[in-house]
Structure 1
């Protein structure tokens, strides 16, 4: 007698697990019907934003007005019923319902009649936006406290609306009568904004320059659907939180330079008092440089020197500049040229060991690192960046990365030597992503050093330029400040180059490369759309410091069922102006790609996943019908 047992395959085990969720043929084919119907729904609207750089109010407004989409939907829905001023009032109410209601109440405009009219308008707009989603998805998006009532108001077929009008009016009257109209308006406003944008892509640089990156991250952590591609200003904070002293010194130096120290001290609880005391006791202030800036800059360049010396394969020896400083003369030799420095105040610099920290500097950095390790809020924010972020993303046929793919002058991918590996293109990005995650979990010296390299290394894909922080700190000759950019930026307007990059990441020419990082000089006629629409640069300058250079206040990219369009935003004044004057961020719209037909969920990555689920369910059906698996009666 044959005693051998037939082992179950992985497929058999998977079908058994799937049968726990779908225990009968009816439940399986019902789910197949549901999934196939979803494939035919319109593709969700994606928004792409980058380089918000701590500018919380402007970023918050872009999220609230959904890059102008709310205003567009209000105009199309109420074009012949409301004046422009009435439309603007409704938009502002949706953007900032609590603040706007308070303002309207102060003006004496809030009456029972106003509530009734406004609630019906909001319901109508929400109904219009909900038409592109399944009822299940809309229900999940509705704020819990009014889920049943809003669901009743939204889902009415056209042939029964007149018959149910009295029913809906009764609901509205009850809402007003019970004093819950304000809460209901806030819930409807939240639902409208949720339905207007299905998914948000943030293509890097949340931190630095502006003062409130922490509030931006709080907002993103509550957002319904998001991914993040790390920028160099994100990675340096991630490196600091992971344990890189060089990254932490760079973070502090950036915040000193941009006068935004409150984010460290107030938001993250990292006290700079010891650094300030050390600086004031050690450095002079007579030459116009702040002692704190002097102290943290010397610490930074010492730590950078140590990092560069540990990795000769980086070929960054030309950035070892402290050893070329003559403190007596106040000069430094760079590339054979002698330059006068802003200061000769270097009391902790030992010419024999220029990259060794003094005892005081070690003590300051040890305490700062301890404060960072114990900052729960910072660790929560950085953990979120790791969980929802990556070095790059391929999504719906598009390739998203913050800065560049390092290239040679000839336009080929540049091989980069890291730890004995020659890496280029996608493989280089995969390696960067892997080591960044290792730094967060393992804290080994190689991966921590790598975080600093991603911040400012010569061939970093997240930076794409040679940073001249030393020259910008100490030299007044601005000709030395020029930061050579990677050859990528000389080739990224070439369709053949873009086609090569798309293919490298597994996409075809129908997709687009989406970058941030480099401000678009719109005032000089530069376009964010390059290579015939194959590449889009969406850093138009949320940061106020860029506005004079760029002439605008940021770009956002919108991908909807009909194509792709770029939005150029004018500067944002303040929330007060929005409330007082209905002063929205005005945007110029450029639809640079139109699809030959309206795209559906079936045309997206989600559609591919749904088709895989359908194939699995069909196998389960076959197993039930052939008797390989028995159906299970549902337990009550």
Structure 2
């Protein structure tokens, strides 16, 4: 096999000279400065804010502009920043407000400034990488303008001809738009999404569509992502759960309008059996002003119906999966229908707002024939929806449960632990899993679940465990108390006890234990996670355990901002170190373009390095070094292959 590998490598580099050239090229790349990584988490459907932070690189573009034009204090950097962030909107605005002569002059000035910014932003990349970043239709023109510019006196007329023809052919606007996108992609080299694209907010589908255009991105699945992924895998309980949550937060339109899922049969079923009650009023925010009372009532009864279906299906799942150790969550079996009470942990609690017209209490977990048919129709709707399939397959292709990248562990939640700091164990199939082995097992089940879409197999059931199981690395609590919050007045029953990991993760020794379990021993390694919003307004620090843990869930979702006091964290990791960025709420694209406003963000230095990081110090660098070693071996023994 090794001989065959080198023979194939020789086909790619057929001469010793070509091998030597590639070795020199790769070794030179290893000495370049490390590219900027951009970390985002817990986006929860808030596309507008996410999109702006993507476009401004968490403030990186503005910082680059200030550095690039440090010798031009009169330069309007705010205007140039807006053009880079929102080129289409800005260009349309200038077309409306300027005459032809003024517009053309403005075009030329912006092109000159953007070319300067592109040169500055591309300094730490190889010429070939910059070439790949350029828009194909303008690659030749931009290379000419970028690498020689108009500084060569002998070529002044040549460059002027390029500009004149761009204007004459009405291509300047298009060129500026493409150049703005190029700058965005050059300033941020790689994007990490540390979980939870879905739920709570209005436009998760737009976030995924935007991520599909990102040149370099990876995703670590969050518990809310898993719920939606499970719907495509065929999990009926997950379908009931995501419908309930969508109704709870006023976003059934995501399913109906954005994805085109037919909920009409479900709505008719819900309206037939249930009537609106206050406990199921949807949690609406200021952007829901257009929702009518009739629509609120619809979301109300859909929640009720989905909750009862979810409770039935949960109970069935826990009965067939005793290894999940969730028998205590088969709550419908603990209800006394004579006095409307439920037994929890040996105590009896009165039920409130509990309406279950489709439950037969002699067999409370059984679905009616109507419910069987309804759920089968819904499952087919999810599994045959092309847009939904495309989005979930993107999460599968770009995603993983965790990622080790540049000596950092990226994991949405955490690793379940016992109170003594040892890793919890999970038993199934005669085997015991814990620590990294359990994380790998969890990821394997995600991929297995998509191989069979029409049965309640273990892997598909396990996706629900990842959503709410007590040892799930994506959940992190002893139980999800949705039933209690809806139906029990005693708030003591609502408490969800955090996994000991979350109580101990402020300790450096615990974080080091996790990092070492994952095979990470660098002095500059970190755990980067989201999942639990950081309450900055209460003084909580997102940087914990002597900088070993960085929690970047700061409240992108409006549902969490009252708790966090900010509108999200992001993290930047460039060749000089780590910076945490705290964001305030973003107003609107219109305001940004018209008034040249930016999102208000505050950067905090988390960690700096003594010596600037190079590509050779990164995960990509390790891969490149392997290529160099292989090429050097081929060069030495070239004639033998």
TM-score, length-scaled by structure 1: 0.94
**Number of equivalenced pairs:** 616
Q: Deviations over 1:561-591 (max 9, x none)?
A: 0011110111111112212222211111111
1:628 aligns with 2:628: no
- Looking at structure 1, the residues matched to 203 and 541 of structure 2 have their Cα atoms a distance apart, in angstroms, of 29
Task: Write out aligned runs for 1:265-414 (5 A).
Answer: 265-285=256-276, 289=280, 290-414=300-424
1:124 aligns with 2:136: no
Structure 1 residue 78 displacement after superposition: 2.0
Structure 1 residue 344 displacement after superposition: 3.7
Q: SS of 1:533's equivalent?
A: coil
1:521 aligned residue: 535
1:604 aligned residue: 618
Structure 1 residue 616 displacement after superposition: 1.1
- Looking at structure 2, the residues matched to 15 and 187 of structure 1 have their Cα atoms a distance apart, in angstroms, of 40
Contact 1:327 1:345 in 2 (8 A): no
2:519 aligned residue: 506
1:447 pairs, out of 428, 442, 459, with 459
1:197 pairs, out of 188, 199, 205, with 188
Contact 2:572 2:578 in 1 (8 A): yes
1:222 aligned residue: 213
Task: Write out aligned runs for 1:424-443 (5 A).
Answer: 424-443=434-453
1:12 aligns with 2:7: no
1:469 aligns with 2:482: yes
Q: SS of 1:111's equivalent?
A: helix
Contact 2:544 2:550 in 1 (8 A): yes
1:495 aligns with 2:514: no
Structure 1 residue 252 displacement after superposition: 0.8
- Looking at structure 1, the residues matched to 489 and 86 of structure 2 have their Cα atoms a distance apart, in angstroms, of 46
Contact 1:123 1:154 in 2 (8 A): yes
1:551 aligns with 2:549: no
1:573 aligned residue: 587
2:29 pairs, out of 32, 38, 54, with 38
2:283 aligned residue: none
Structure 1 residue 285 displacement after superposition: 3.1
Task: Write out aligned runs for 1:73-84 (5 A).
Answer: 73-83=64-74
Change (3 A) 1:170 1:157: closer
Q: SS of 1:122's equivalent?
A: helix
2:250 aligned residue: 259
Contact 2:57 2:184 in 1 (8 A): yes
Contact 2:407 2:520 in 1 (8 A): yes
Question: Cα RMSD (Å) of the superposition?
Answer: 1.7
Q: SS of 2:79's equivalent?
A: helix
Contact 2:94 2:103 in 1 (8 A): no
User: Which stretches in structure 2 are left out of the alignment for 5+ residues?
Assistant: 281-299
1:177 aligned residue: 168
Structure 1 residue 286 displacement after superposition: 5.7
Q: SS of 2:640's equivalent?
A: coil
- Looking at structure 1, the residues matched to 71 and 640 of structure 2 have their Cα atoms a distance apart, in angstroms, of 62
Tell which deviates more after alignment, 426-435 or 587-596.
587-596
Contact 1:330 1:343 in 2 (8 A): no
Structure 1 residue 462 displacement after superposition: 1.0
2:60 aligned residue: 69
- Looking at structure 2, the residues matched to 528 and 173 of structure 1 have their Cα atoms a distance apart, in angstroms, of 52
1:7 aligned residue: none
Contact 1:116 1:173 in 2 (8 A): no
Structure 1 residue 333 displacement after superposition: 2.8
- Looking at structure 1, the residues matched to 245 and 37 of structure 2 have their Cα atoms a distance apart, in angstroms, of 32
- Looking at structure 1, the residues matched to 154 and 547 of structure 2 have their Cα atoms a distance apart, in angstroms, of 49
1:479 aligns with 2:501: no
Contact 1:327 1:346 in 2 (8 A): no
- Looking at structure 2, the residues matched to 492 and 438 of structure 1 have their Cα atoms a distance apart, in angstroms, of 31
1:112 aligns with 2:104: yes
Structure 1 residue 366 displacement after superposition: 1.0
1:632 aligned residue: none
1:534 aligns with 2:548: yes
Structure 1 residue 162 displacement after superposition: 6.4
TM-score, length-scaled by structure 2: 0.93
- Looking at structure 2, the residues matched to 272 and 66 of structure 1 have their Cα atoms a distance apart, in angstroms, of 38
- Looking at structure 2, the residues matched to 539 and 250 of structure 1 have their Cα atoms a distance apart, in angstroms, of 23
Structure 1 residue 200 displacement after superposition: 0.4
Structure 1 residue 418 displacement after superposition: 2.8
Q: SS of 1:442's equivalent?
A: coil
- Looking at structure 1, the residues matched to 122 and 624 of structure 2 have their Cα atoms a distance apart, in angstroms, of 21
2:202 aligned residue: 211
Contact 2:277 2:353 in 1 (8 A): no
- Looking at structure 2, the residues matched to 287 and 18 of structure 1 have their Cα atoms a distance apart, in angstroms, of 68
Change (3 A) 1:23 1:588: same
- Looking at structure 2, the residues matched to 141 and 539 of structure 1 have their Cα atoms a distance apart, in angstroms, of 31
Contact 2:410 2:528 in 1 (8 A): yes
